Amino acid sequence: MFAVHLLAFHFTKLKEDQIKKVDRFLHQLRLSDDVLQDVTARFQAEMLKGLARDTNPTAAVKMLPSFVRSLPDGSEKGEFLAVDLGGSQLRAHQVKVFDDGKQSSQLESKFYPTPKEVTQGNGAELFGYIADCLSDFMETRNLKQKKLPLGFTFSFPCKQTKLDEGVLLEWTKHFRVRGVQGTDVVSSLHRALQKHQDIDVDVLALVNDTVGTMMTCGYDDQRCEVGLIIGTGTNACYMEEMRHISLVEGDEGRMCINTEWGAFGDDGALDDLRTEFDRELDLGSLNPGKQLFEKMISSLYLGELVRLILLKMTKEGLLFNGKVSTALLTKGKIETKHVSAMEKYKEGLSNTREILRELKLFPSEEDCVAVQHVCTIVSFRSANLCAAALAAILTRLRDNKKLLRMRTTVGIDGGLYKTHPRYAKRLHKVLRRLVPTCDVRFLLSQGGSGRGAALVTAVALRLAAQRRRLDAALAPFLLPPSTLQEVRDSMRAELEYGLKRETQAQATVKMLPTYVCGMPDGTEKGKFLALDLGGTNFRVLLVKIKSGRRRSVQMYNKIFAIPLEIMQGTGEELFDHIVQCIADFLDYMGIKGARLPLGFTFSFPCRQASIDKGTLVGWTKGFKATDCEGEDVVDMLREAIRRRNEFDLDIVAVVNDTVGTMMTCGYEDPNCEIGLIAGTGTNVCYMEDMKNIETVEGNEGQMCINTEWGAFGDNGCIDHIRTKYDREVDEGSLNPGKQRYEKMTSGMYLGEIVRQILIDLTKQGLLFRGHISESLRKRGIFETKFLSQIESDRLALLQVRRILQQLGLDSTCEDSIIVKEVCAAVSTRAARLCGAGLAAVVEKKRQNRGVERLQITVGVDGTLYKLHPHFSRILQETVKELAPQCDVTFMLSEDGSGKGAALITAVAKRLHNVGQK
């Protein structure tokens, strides 16, 4: 027993001594975590260089766009061919993808050799050989009678401008085919296939093997967004945000980037980490000075690195008693499969002895231990470097998503990872230390890049079909200039009908006189009360106006809610509630005894007989209080004040919110004669010449006309541009058949239009995996504020997904892109239609003045105009396009409704006093 322990001690001591000897000799290959984190930082910098248009030409890591924009979603189906070129064999595949709810596929393959005369011959021979192999495969599978799409896995760096086109940048690994570099490899394969007239194959996708690996694993695990190859060569790909890829047009969605990280260090970025053995191996390779990172990692080179190290150690007398064999001097005699065999857990030492003897070396026990440790250090450095670069990719993914901690899956393939006994464990362990904030699952590729190429093709076909159906759904929202001109001309005609006595009753645009006959001139002064009713909130304001050189407007206000039961109760309940709010405000301000002049902003269509009388034509914007339509709202307010019998008010003016907006801006800019509201509802007012207003007596001066253009189209004149979604929204509204223009342009309805489209697209299987959630079925769930958030240029798609998740919608990245596009189509149409209507108004103003060119200011208010990221710009561009002879300035109203009501009251008082004098 003692002898056994002594022998074990002796062997352990021997092993420790040999390990220390090798560690000292190869100290440069042993990389600390600090060094690896530095490598991660260097690779992150290289990624940024490769992604940027200006620095990409000189970047070593090319970050090549793959034009793969989506991972599989499980709905892919069909039969595909795939050809895989990149390693020691050419592979042909038949792939069947089933849409059976189980995400299953079937793969049949055949392997063909890639002899040296093919891999180092000319391009015509290479692609002719590929076509011959594919023809043979189709013959054996009885596929020649079918027309099948093909995905071409080509595992070499290519610059792609689309999915089915790729120009070879340079050969890697052991390939050196003449006349191919700088040419489109897909075209070359097409030409070779055309010589086989008995087969009909359409090459739809060019795929790097890393991309194919990611797609294969992404089909099985939708968290997979990284593909990694560690085999004959090494490379990685990942899903990058389009907004970061300046090499490709567009900033929506994501695209898979083929990093081509094998070239990392070709610009000298890793020179301090490369050893004399790396330099010697590089000089003896087919491509000196290139793929330097790959030469430190991949299985094509690890065996040779080990040989070079053993050769030097032997020459220095550290191994084999200094005796060098011819085999040890021969390049390629030690392969990575030998390294793997020597590192096996139990039989590693015996494998080492056997392999060394095959090399005509006569190792001692010490030699075997030392050689085994050399293999461990070389393969360990490979795993370390691979982990450092992968850590950079994972960190970038996490930062793109703005997450503190991220769960993701890495799809992986390659002989070194799969067959080396310790490589995977080392890689995983080091990666956990380098990126502790990422929970990474490694998923082995099943079917590899061949299945992946088929899946890329299937996804491309799915996206193309989805694109066609999405375009068909959104086409009616893309109004051409000729249609907008028709809308402008129809609106202009309706403006005229509303002004004429004989046609006003039938006109949809009622052109209601407001009896506001003057604009502020700067002499207005005094204290005024203002009421603002037009939405779910009601405001009471005290407005102090000062005139003179230091003219100013000071406002104090209080906001009160109007419950739904009041909005849709009786008229008496509504006005009693209003008076209750006024009483609270007067108490709050301590002015209950003062009898101040009051302007009442009442943002609903009223027919006025004077400035202080307004008969409600009809409710809009969700109000439905009974016994109000056809009644004078000023009288109803006065009656409610009398019922309360606590205070009295001098109600001078009833005002529409558009008129208040115009007056507010007119106080700052005398050129303002138009008011526009683009918010919950939409409307326009403008100063019209009295001689054109046949519904009011008198021909002198001007009067503000409240167009109430929201009802434009209620006579059917714009039915040809209304979509089925507009009709669905209209039918479900409180006032079917009315306010049709407003329902296409205002904030109260845009979100509901989007919801109807999303339901339709989901039924077609284009969204949310075809599942209509309970939340999506709820009317009003998709508010217009979500459009503004979703369409923001600053909002990443991940944030769009979060908004959708808040609405109970389980979305993918691709869903978010579609939702954003739907929102953009709906809001753009709204802005264009609003611009066409406004163009009719400004053109009318120009012709009224009889000038060739008009300069005018439009006062604007409304949340849609102010908060939506693109609405105001599109509206302004449309007005410029449709009214080219008008120079229109848009001025945002500051608190238009309240301030405007007080200013109208002040102007009315001033004009009244002038009339009395």
C-alpha–C-alpha distance, residues 540 and 532, integer Å: 7
End-to-end C-alpha distance for the chain, whole angstroms:
130
C-alpha–C-alpha distance, residues 431 and 905, integer Å: 73
C-alpha–C-alpha distance, residues 686 and 188, integer Å: 66
| Helix or strand holding residue 678 (H, E) | strand 672-678
Angle, helices 813-849 vs 448-474, to 10°: value is 30
CB 865 within 8 A of CB 876: no
262-to-229, 247, 461 alpha-carbon distances in Å: 11, 20, 31
Strands (E), 104-243: 104-113, 147-154, 158-162, 165-168, 200-207, 224-230, 234-241
Q: How far is CA 573 from the centre of its chain?
A: 48
C-alpha dihedral (267, 271, 272, 273), degrees to nearest 10: 110
User: Which residue type occupies 761?
Assistant: L
What is 509-574 written as a DSSP string? S--EE--------S---EEEEEEEESSSEEEEEEEEEE-STT-EEEEEEEEEE--HHHHTSBHHHH
C-alpha–C-alpha distance, residues 914 and 891, integer Å: 30
Q: Which residues of 834-869 are buried (b: 16+ CB within 10 A; e: fewer)?
A: bbbbbbbbbbbbbebeeeeebebbbbbbbbbbebbb
- Report the length, in residues, of the chain: 917
Which one, of 710, 531, 552, 715, lies nearest residue 634 by Cα? 531
Q: How many CB atoms lie within 10 A of CB 475?
A: 10
Q: Tokens 């407003």: give the residue.
A: 742
Angle, helices 2-25 vs 365-400, to 10°: value is 60
Tokens of 898: 């309240």
DSSP 856: E
Tokens of 163: 């999915």
Tokens of 347: 């039989």
Which one, of 434, 349, 351, 416, lies nearest residue 378 by Cα? 416
CB 450 within 8 A of CB 81: no
What is 262-320 written as a DSSP string? GGTTTTSTTTTT--HHHHHHHHTSSSTTSSTTGGGTSHHHHHHHHHHHHHHHHHTTSSG
Tokens of 536: 């779910």
C-alpha–C-alpha distance, residues 518 and 696, integer Å: 16
Residue 36, sorted as left (phi over 0), alpha (psi -120 to 50) or beta, turns out to be alpha
Q: Tokens 């739907």: give the residue.
A: 822
Count of helix runs (H) and strand runs (E) in the chain: 28, 26
Which one, of 695, 531, 527, 680, lies nearest residue 607 by Cα? 695
Strand 854-861 and strand 886-892: the pairing is parallel
CB 477 within 8 A of CB 241: no
CB 831 within 8 A of CB 878: yes
Q: Which residues of 545-568 are buried (b: 16+ CB within 10 A; e: fewer)?
A: beeeeeeebebebeeeebeeebbb
DSSP 769: G
Q: Which residues are catalytic?
A: 539, 603, 657
